[in-house]
A and B are shown apart, each in its own frame.
Chain A
């Protein structure tokens, strides 16, 4: 497979997951789309430059992490409450039922209260379906550290949801 084909494959495989990754941080659908596009454009820059990219997924998430941090720094006032007041629409699919929308909204609110590292690994594991090994590579941590974060994150999430 040529680098270009690999890149397109990476677009097809990870764009949804990257979109979620950005969306859970900026809580703005249009902005999340912009960020994902930026991620791929920057990654293409690395491909063009001929850089050795042993693990494309990790690179994409690294770029996504950097650009979302930059974006959030620029928009400090971003919060779920503010977005709700301004007409926050967490629903993606317009056909989604109201129940689903409420579920998504409530889980996002709770997720927002989790420490970033816990939220990241939980989303990777349970929403995006990545293995602990893959997550470890993406967040540059050891597998056992990731497992601990998942465990602690879930514990906190249950507490926040009143599932104890």
Chain B
């Protein structure tokens, strides 16, 4: 008769193989790289801390109760309050928090946070136009703006993790549009200054910086439907040994999954080829423009062509990880080249 101990030993043999564990980690690491931990700890409002935001229903009920008994007059009066006004804290910490607590779905919450981003930007613009924006007010609004923008980004991550890619994509697009629209207005205000006769230019550097930083943090569009296909590009396996993940280099892992990696590398190669073509055409069409800039572009094109040839060789040899490294280098230099191209002649 087999003893129970032998059964346990047999069951313990059911485990992930070393390769499976590593491949799975690659997929998880891709998601981790795409959705990094924010360095900023989440800041809770005074009311949020007081009433434990984790219990939004209780919080909302209490606020509604208070507002109802105070006749709602303060709350109503605060609706149009601007930063610096006495009732502005009521507007952002009470009115807006109530609306926030009454959003019961992640989609509703993300839309509301988006609206708050828009409101903060409109407030900055209004104050700048009226010449009332001080560095202190800018800092306060910027802080709130960043909090709301971070929340929207967190919802994008959530939608993505939940597989709701269409909503993740819509939210990303909307946030990007909000940033783009207001960036144009704010840049004009920063350049032209406030009202006529107001000597000082409004302090808008911080707001513009936040817009730029948050815009850069947004995930690239469109979202990939199948994350496993490009699971290897951003992975960052830990250093460990034996049956833990990350014991081998990326190249080994990629060669163990030839179909995905090959397809992925070949897709990149096509894109790479297109970029070489774009650069080539641009240089040919703008040879008469700024010689120094054109010279820089020619140099980039030469490096780029070398990288392309190398990447082609590596893909043909099945060394996809090395090819991926070359693609990343090429991507970085193309980004620089695009800046120069914009300076030489506006891109279509």
Spell out A's residues near B (CB within 8 Å): 3-5, 7-8, 11-12, 15-16, 19-20, 23, 33, 36-37, 40-42, 44-45, 47-50, 90, 92-93, 96, 100, 103-104, 107-108, 123, 126-127, 154, 157-158, 161, 163
Contact = CB atoms under 8 A, between A and B. Distances in A.
The interface centre, meaning the residue of A19, A41, A45, A108 with most chain B CB atoms within 10 A of its CB, is A41
A4 B13 contact: no
A16 B16 contact: yes
Given A42-B161, A44-B28, A47-B37, A157 B14 contact: no
Contacts of B161: 41-42, 44-45
A65 to B, nearest CB: 18
Interface stretch (B18-26, B216-224, B291-299): B18-26
B11 A127 contact: yes
The 5 A-B pairs at the shortest CB distance, nearest first, are namely A16-B15, A103-B10, A126-B8, A12-B244, A107-B7
Nearest to B240: A12
Contacts of B2: 103
A135 to B, nearest CB: 15
B1 interface: yes
B307 to A, nearest CB: 31
Contacts, number: 99
Contacts of A157: 4
Interface of B: 1-2, 4, 6-8, 10-17, 20-21, 24-25, 27-28, 31-32, 35-38, 41-42, 154, 157-158, 161, 238, 240, 244-245
A48 B35 contact: yes
21 contacts: A3-B37, A7-B32, A12-B238, A15-B21, A20-B11, A33-B16, A33-B20, A36-B24, A37-B27, A41-B28, A44-B31, A47-B37, A48-B38, A49-B154, A92-B15, A92-B17, A103-B2, A103-B7, A107-B7, A126-B4, A161-B4
B10 A4 contact: no
A19 B245 contact: no
B143 to A, nearest CB: 17
Contacts of A103: 2, 6-7, 10
Given A33-B24, A44-B35, A158-B4, A12 B10 contact: no
Majority SS at the chain A contact face:
helix
A131 to B, nearest CB: 15
A50 B41 contact: yes
Contact of B38 (A7, A33, A42, A50): A50
Nearest to B31: A41
Given A12-B245, A33-B24, A37-B24, A19 B15 contact: yes
Given A41-B161, A126-B11, 10 more contacts: A5-B238, A20-B14, A44-B35, A48-B36, A48-B154, A50-B41, A92-B15, A104-B10, A104-B13, A107-B10
A11 B20 CA distance: 13
B31 A96 contact: no
Contacts of A45: 35, 157-158, 161
Contact of B11 (A3, A50, A104, A154): A104
Contacts of A8: 238, 245
Contacts of B4: 126, 154, 157-158, 161, 163
Contacts of A47: 37
Contact of B32 (A12, A44, A104): A44
Contacts of A107: 7, 10-11
A48 to B, nearest CB: 5
A44 to B, nearest CB: 6
Contacts of A11: 25, 28, 245
B238 A100 contact: no
A19 B13 CA distance: 11
Given A33-B24, A158-B4, A163-B1, A4 B32 contact: yes
Contacts of B245: 8, 11-12
The interface centre, meaning the residue of A11, A33, A100 with most chain B CB atoms within 10 A of its CB, is A11
A103 to B, nearest CB: 4
A26 to B, nearest CB: 12
A30 to B, nearest CB: 10
Contacts of B35: 44-45, 48
B7 A4 contact: no
Contacts of B12: 127
B49 to A, nearest CB: 14
Contacts of B16: 15-16, 19, 33, 36
Nearest to B1: A163
A163 B4 CA distance: 9
A20 B244 contact: no
B236 to A, nearest CB: 9
Contacts of A158: 4
